[in-house]
């Protein structure tokens, strides 16, 4: 019976994906800026329960649009996603030489983050241009409303290639096993899968280039379901696309559900609010602190109203985007990422986040892999690539944490002990592991096979018959596999410790592999620490999931997650990740250096 319900394109690799029609709309509106009245709704149609007044005129026209000729704005209003096409057209002096208007629609958020609203983008831009030439001719708007007015019987397919698997899932307990944590897109084996025009995910390569190695810090903040606010200037289309990109890359595959508590289901996806402004401050203030039990509180948004950045109680992470003209500067300008003051432990100044040394190496490997994929695209795409994304370039960059003294001592010792043969130190083997995250699987092996412990990691099987993979899809693949890798390792550690706690015997100490790194895998219980345990409930075979039980994360576990064992920020990330998703405390050990059995660092 389950196979009868399965969609044909989930199992066939020779199906051509035809363009889908735009979704039904719950409202359509024309907004115009007037000198005396300000932003006003000049014309609109909507279904009865939709309220437009004093809402869409502000959401559709964020601050700063008077400086641009055209823009595309995404926003969220209640259970609807909105998209508006803005145009700034030359006009008479009585209109201050400019005619500013926007044409927009609302679509239900039934599927995905935007309800496929981008499928209306091209037509809305066309309508805006025609109305700029003839503002009084609203007949095209009426025709558009009659064509796409929302029908009660209308059923929209999922909004992106990664969402269509949700309806194909059978109950979690019936089909999933812990050792096979596949991505929620594994069943999509369409060989000709591609993104629709104006799809926000098409901006993923630009998103990666804009943030550089900082993209991993931003990604980890989103995994922690922080409230993230991107502040930039008009036009806002790119910022809205970045909100979508971050929400997409930080979404958890549904296949991870068996590894998480039941309360985690609603937080698999962060909530993208897209463009917000001063008018949204009361609503943002009403939301609770971020919690996976309240998905509405875990949001990502962008704004051009910098006054919001002066309200640190509204957000957890602030991202200041560089101005558009900086793209042409001789020196690359990266965004700045800061934590809000309430979360900086009594520090007066916000804490700036920097990429780790591991992030810099991972980013360089990722860019190299994407260049290989670009060989199947146009030659101009390769010519436009920034070839300065080398590890040596970023290792001393201001956006990357400096090399710690313990790491410098360790790499120097390795170089000396190997007579100069091992120059890479701790980075040996990382390139190969990172490159596997971009592997394209063939038709006969949709599930990648990784060596050793990586064999259980998930994958996203989106590819075409030529072996070519669009860079946007490749990035989605990469981050979904990375997410699966991190969560699976933590789940394994928790399960391992719970099993050990349930046994009457003390866990065995792992054999020494002879390396100079102490991997902190010694789980022998300390008798002195045991005397302090009456404050905590006693552990038993039926009480191994006690929230107060501290989970021990070793440096080898951190390495297996693909994180930096030498970085304090990565260790703090793992501790918070365990607390946020599993509700348990964690003790994370970084790398240690032993010499002749004596700990040096």
Nearest to 188 by CA among 158, 171, 169, 165: 165
pLDDT value of residue 93: 63
pLDDT value of residue 341: 73
- The pTM score is 0.79
State yes or no: pLDDT of 135 exceeds 50.
yes
pLDDT value of residue 166: 38
406 and 566 Cβ atoms separated by less than 8 Å? yes
Nearest to 253 by CA among 11, 548, 479: 479
pLDDT value of residue 435: 80
To the nearest 5 percent, what fractions of the chain are helix, strand and coil? Answer: 40, 15, 45
State yes or no: pLDDT of 182 exceeds 90.
no
Q: Which residue has the higher pLDDT, 142 or 422?
A: 142
Tell me the mean pLDDT in the region 419-423. Answer: 54
State yes or no: pLDDT of 154 exceeds 60.
no
Query: Using CA atoms, how far apart are residues 174 and 168, in angstroms rounded to an integer?
Result: 13
CB contact set of 543 (below 8 Å; sequence gap of 6+): 537
pLDDT value of residue 373: 77
Average pLDDT, the chain: 76
pLDDT value of residue 589: 87
Nearest to 474 by CA among 463, 485, 458, 486: 463
Q: Which residue has the higher pLDDT, 147 or 390?
A: 147
**DSSP bridge pairs for 39:** 33
State yes or no: pLDDT of 357 exceeds 70.
yes
Sheet architecture: strand order including 299-303: 38-46, 27-34, 98-108, 80-90, 70-77, 271-275, 299-303, 228-231, 317-320, 336-339, 351-352
Going by pLDDT thresholds of 50, 70 and 90, the confidence category of residue 330 is confident
Out of 106-110, 187-191, 434-438, 582-586, least confident range: 187-191
pLDDT value of residue 408: 62
CB contact set of 225 (below 8 Å; sequence gap of 6+): 267, 270, 290, 291, 292, 298, 580
pLDDT value of residue 549: 81
376 and 466 Cβ atoms separated by less than 8 Å? yes
pLDDT value of residue 364: 93
pLDDT value of residue 530: 36
pLDDT value of residue 3: 40
Do you find a cis peptide bond into 235, omega within 30 degrees of 0? yes
Supply φ then ψ for residue 43, to 5 degrees: -160, 140
State yes or no: pLDDT of 282 exceeds 90.
yes
pLDDT value of residue 469: 63
pLDDT value of residue 352: 92
Domain ranges of the chain: 22-159, 357-483, 508-599
Tell me the mean pLDDT in the region 351-367. Answer: 93
Tell me the mean pLDDT in the region 142-156. Answer: 81
Supply φ then ψ for residue 569, to 5 degrees: -70, -35
pLDDT digits (tens, 9 = 90+) for 489-546: 999 999 999 887 776 655 555 444 443 433 333 333 333 333 344 433 433 333 444 5
pLDDT value of residue 335: 97
Q: Which residue has the higher pLDDT, 521 or 258?
A: 258
State yes or no: pLDDT of 249 exceeds 60.
yes
pLDDT value of residue 155: 46
pLDDT value of residue 96: 61
Nearest to 100 by CA among 34, 54, 145: 34
407 and 566 Cβ atoms separated by less than 8 Å? yes
Q: Which residue has the higher pLDDT, 141 or 508?
A: 141
CB contact set of 539 (below 8 Å; sequence gap of 6+): 501, 502, 546, 549
State yes or no: pLDDT of 347 exceeds 60.
no
Query: Using CA atoms, how far apart are residues 367 and 384, in angstroms rounded to an integer?
Result: 13
pLDDT value of residue 147: 96
State yes or no: pLDDT of 425 exceeds 80.
no
pLDDT digits (tens, 9 = 90+) for 192-236: 457 888 999 999 999 999 999 999 999 999 999 999 999 999 999
Please state, as a whole number, how many other Cβ atoms lie within 10 Å of the Cβ of residue 156: 18
Out of 273-287, 305-319, 340-354, 371-385, least confident range: 371-385
Out of 111-115, 329-333, 356-360, 597-601, least confident range: 597-601
Going by pLDDT thresholds of 50, 70 and 90, the confidence category of residue 385 is low
Nearest to 185 by CA among 272, 256, 107, 130: 256
pLDDT value of residue 36: 75
Report the half-sphere exposure of 525 (CA within 13 A, side-chain side).
15
Q: Which residue has the higher pLDDT, 71 or 341?
A: 71
State yes or no: pLDDT of 20 exceeds 80.
no
Helices 237-249, 471-502: inter-axial angle, 10-degree rounding:
40
């Amino acid at each position: 019976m389950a196979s009868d319900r399965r969609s044909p394109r989930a199992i066939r690799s020779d199906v051509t994906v035809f363009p889908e029609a735009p979704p039904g709309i719950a409202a359509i509106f024309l907004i115009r800026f007037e000198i005396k009245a300000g932003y006003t709704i000049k014309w609109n149609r909507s279904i009865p329960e939709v309220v437009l007044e004093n809402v869409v005129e502000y959401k559709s026209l964020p601050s700063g649009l008077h400086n641009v000729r055209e823009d595309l704005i995404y926003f969220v209003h209640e259970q609807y996603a909105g998209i508006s096409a803005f145009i700034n057209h030359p006009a008479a002096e009585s209109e201050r030489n400019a005619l500013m208007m926007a044409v927009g629609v609302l679509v239900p958020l039934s599927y995905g983050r935007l309800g496929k609203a981008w499928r209306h983008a091209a037509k809305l831009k066309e309508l805006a241009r025609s109305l700029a030439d003839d503002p009084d001719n609203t007949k095209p708007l009426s025709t558009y409303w009659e064509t796409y007015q929302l029908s009660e019987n209308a059923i929209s397919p999922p909004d992106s290639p990664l969402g269509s698997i949700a309806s194909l899932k059978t109950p979690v307990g019936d089909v999933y096993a812990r050792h096979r944590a596949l991505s929620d897109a594994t069943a999509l084996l369409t060989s000709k899968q591609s993104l629709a025009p104006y799809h926000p995910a098409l901006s993923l390569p630009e998103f990666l280039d804009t943030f550089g190695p900082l993209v991993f810090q931003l990604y980890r903040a989103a995994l922690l379901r922080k409230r993230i606010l991107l502040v930039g200037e008009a036009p806002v289309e790119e910022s809205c696309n970045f909100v979508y990109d971050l929400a997409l890359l930080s979404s958890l595959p549904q296949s991870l559900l068996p590894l998480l508590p039941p309360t985690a289901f609603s937080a698999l996806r962060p909530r993208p609010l897209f463009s917000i402004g001063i008018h949204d401050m009361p609503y943002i203030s009403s939301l609770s602190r971020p919690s996976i039990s309240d998905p509405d509180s875990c949001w990502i948004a962008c704004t051009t109203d910098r006054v919001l950045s002066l309200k640190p109680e509204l957000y957890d992470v602030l991202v200041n985007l560089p101005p558009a003209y900086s793209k042409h500067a001789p020196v690359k300008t990266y965004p700045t990422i800061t934590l809000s003051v309430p979360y900086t432990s009594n520090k007066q100044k916000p804490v700036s986040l920097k990429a780790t040394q591991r992030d810099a190496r991972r980013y360089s490997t990722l860019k190299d892999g994407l260049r290989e994929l670009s060989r199947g695209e146009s030659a101009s795409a390769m010519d436009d690539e920034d070839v300065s994304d080398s590890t040596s370039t970023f290792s001393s960059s201001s956006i990357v944490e400096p090399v710690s003294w313990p790491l410098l001592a360790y790499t120097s010792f390795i170089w000396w002990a190997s007579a100069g043969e091992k120059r890479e130190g701790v980075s040996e083997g990382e390139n190969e592991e990172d490159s596997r995250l971009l592997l394209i699987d063939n038709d006969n092996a949709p599930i990648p096979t990784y060596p050793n412990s990586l064999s259980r990691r998930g994958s996203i099987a989106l590819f075409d018959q030529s072996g070519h993979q669009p860079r946007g899809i490749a990035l989605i693949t990469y981050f979904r596999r990375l997410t699966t890798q991190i969560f699976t390792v933590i789940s394994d550690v928790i399960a391992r410790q719970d099993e050990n706690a349930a046994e009457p015997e003390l866990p065995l100490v792992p054999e020494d592999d002879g390396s100079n790194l102490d991997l902190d895998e010694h789980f022998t219980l300390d008798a002195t620490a045991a005397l302090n345990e009456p404050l905590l409930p006693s552990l038993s075979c039926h009480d191994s999931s006690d929230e107060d039980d501290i989970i021990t994360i070793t440096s080898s576990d951190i390495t297996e997650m693909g994180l930096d064992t030498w970085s304090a920020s990565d260790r703090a990330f793992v501790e918070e990740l365990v607390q946020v998703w599993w509700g348990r405390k964690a003790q994370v050990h970084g790398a240690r250096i032993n010499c002749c059995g004596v700990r040096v660092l």
